[in-house]
Structure 1
Amino acid sequence: MSGEQRGPRRVRRQLRPTSASTVPDAAMLQRIADTLMDPRRPRPTTGSDAHHGDGPDALIVDGRQVGMVRAVRRSRLLEADRVVLADGTTLVWKRLTGPLRAETATLTALHTAAAPGPAIAAVAGPRTGRGALAVPAVVATAHESLADGLLLQDLRPAPLPLPSDAWPRTVHAIHTTPAPAWLPVLDAAHLASLPARALAHLDALRADGVGRWPDSDRIAADLAYLRSLGQHRSSGAATAPYGLCHTRLDPSALFPTADGTVYVLGWAWASRGPGLLDLLGCLPLGGDSNSTAFDAHDEVLDAYLAVGGDRAAEDDRGGLPATRWAAGWHRVIQAERLLHIVAGWLDEPDDADAQHEVGVLLHEAVQCLR
């Protein structure tokens, strides 16, 4: 990465275990996490594809090779590596910066609540019963001034197809899990403030001397309209289900395994908020005519109630059916967060993809909330 201090030349060689095949203890796993977090360590890089790494690098801890590290994904705010230890254990290492750092505390709290006890015991498999929220085991954490690191259970091999009832059951498991008290609150007042916050991010991008996001008048107009109706349409946010809320839940965040466990990934944006955002928010719409899409949303809502979801999930809020309310506010939330990331954390010469995505999200939000 540009501007980053170069460390010693990377070592690439075959892994040769130096001792008997034993699972590392918690202290050793912490040393591994601290080593991976060290800014002086040369981090493996990916090839031209940002999601697939090239050759592995040796993992050296206290002067001894204990495994190999292969880059899996690289972005401005996230680095993900796969770690293969000498005994064959595989782990995932995530280095998080900016707003993604919030995942460290949230995932640690959720894993501790689901699987109390020594972290390494959870590496081999799930420790939750059917119906309970399953998250990857947190093996160790590490910190520096501008980033956090998570050493996690590796859920390999690839995820299985999602069972037909997995979506409502998993969302119900989230809703029945106590939310850590320190999570940010996503209530009606916060929802109503989002269009104005997004406008402030947009103004920063379009300011004199910055000149990003040209031809974004439609985005500004949609945000102004959403701001005008925000206070009314945000009412009912505290209607059940309300509590632990992933807020970015979609099928890619679910990882089904062979034993029937469905793990929930990606907790950086968790909050205490309306559970309907997780159940219905990411479901697709049908363009300017959404009646057929909302019929499908109603079916998902029915499936959620069938597995024990709170009956109040059916209630109107903000003067709208629950399905329209959830779809609209989910899109406002995602648009504001994307604007926040682009304006505050990225410095890209061409933001066309992000600008297009925000435009689509806001157009759909207007269709739902008007």
Structure 2
Amino acid sequence: MKAHAALARLEELRAAGRWMDSTDLDGPLARLADHADRLADGAELAPFGLCHSELHPTSLHVREDGWHLLDWARSFTGAGLLDLASWQGTQQPADPVSLRRLIWAYIRTGGAPETSRLRAGLPAEQWALGWHRLWIIVWYLEQATTWMPNPDQDAFTATVIRRHLREADTFLWTPSR
């Protein structure tokens, strides 16, 4: 589960003497990890399968002969609803109203009707944005521990993670918005 992975990455960073002032992340991540099985309820609903995980305009290459989806490096098998959540990107605050419109547009064009169903008692868009934000948190922590372990970026990365954790926590714990 993503919350468990995030906690493990934080432990790695702290073992290396980094992120010692990030203990404020522990509580929300531990709470999400403790309830991850319940919060994952509905993950198997359609659409389910190959998930790109970073589906946004820069991942599409449109040519005269059609479109091509690029950058499958972080793909996984799972809830395709996360691809719809990733479309709006991560630089602005998550927008559940916009995602709800995208979900209904997807269904109207032939997507699975189950896409709009509640998951873990939450509206589909709220559930997807919460889990997508956890996915982002793990991605940033993996950058800090493995792919680009640059301590000079720690303060910036921690700020980004805090913002996404507030959103994940809000979306996954608030019954409706």
Shared topology, TM-score over 0.5?
Answer: yes
| Equivalent in 139, 155, 162 of residue 359 of structure 1 | 162
Change (3 A) 1:303 1:198: same
* Cα drift, residue 255 of structure 1: 2.2
Q: Distance in 2 between matches of 1:260 and 1:276?
A: 27
Same amino acid, percent of matched pairs: 35
Q: Distance in 2 between matches of 1:278 and 1:225?
A: 25
Contact 1:281 1:331 in 2 (8 A): no
- Normalized per residue, which structure has more strand? 1
Paired position in structure 1 for 2:75: 270
SS of aligned partner of 1:358: helix
Contact 2:6 2:29 in 1 (8 A): yes
Change (3 A) 1:224 1:282: farther
Q: Distance in 1 between matches of 2:42 and 2:139?
A: 22
- Normalized per residue, which structure has more helix? 2
* Cα drift, residue 353 of structure 1: 2.4
Paired position in structure 2 for 1:195: 3
Paired position in structure 1 for 2:29: 223
Contact 2:96 2:129 in 1 (8 A): no
| Equivalent in 100, 103, 107 of residue 301 of structure 1 | 103
1:282-332 Cα shifts (integer Å, max 9, x gaps): 436985xx7xx3222221111111211011111111111110111110111
Alignment-mate amino acid for residue 271 of structure 1: F
Q: Distance in 1 between matches of 2:124 and 2:14?
A: 35
Paired position in structure 2 for 1:240: 46
Q: Distance in 1 between matches of 2:66 and 2:111?
A: 19
Paired position in structure 2 for 1:250: 56
The answer to whether 1:312 aligns with 2:114 is yes
Size of the alignment, in residue pairs?
171
Paired position in structure 2 for 1:368: 171
Paired position in structure 2 for 1:84: none
Paired position in structure 2 for 1:322: 124
1:124-145 Cα shifts (integer Å, max 9, x gaps): xxxxxxxxxxxxxxxxxxxxxx
Paired position in structure 2 for 1:335: 137
Alignment-mate amino acid for residue 156 of structure 2: D
In the superposition, the TM-score normalised over structure 2's length comes to 0.86
- What runs of 5+ residues in structure 2 fail to find an aligned partner? none
Q: Distance in 1 between matches of 2:135 and 2:59?
A: 17
* Cα drift, residue 348 of structure 1: 1.3
SS of aligned partner of 1:361: helix
Contact 1:282 1:327 in 2 (8 A): no
Contact 1:201 1:340 in 2 (8 A): yes
Change (3 A) 1:272 1:261: same
Instruction: Show the 5 A alignment for 1:1-370.
Output: 193-207=1-15, 210-257=16-63, 259=64, 261-283=66-88, 293-350=95-152, 351-370=154-173
* Cα drift, residue 268 of structure 1: 0.5
Q: Distance in 1 between matches of 2:69 and 2:4?
A: 31
Q: Distance in 2 between matches of 1:204 and 1:238?
A: 31
Alignment-mate amino acid for residue 328 of structure 1: G
Q: Distance in 1 between matches of 2:107 and 2:151?
A: 47
- Cα RMSD of the aligned pairs, angstroms, is 2.0
1:214-271 Cα shifts (integer Å, max 9, x gaps): 42122222211211221111111110110111012122212223x2722211100111
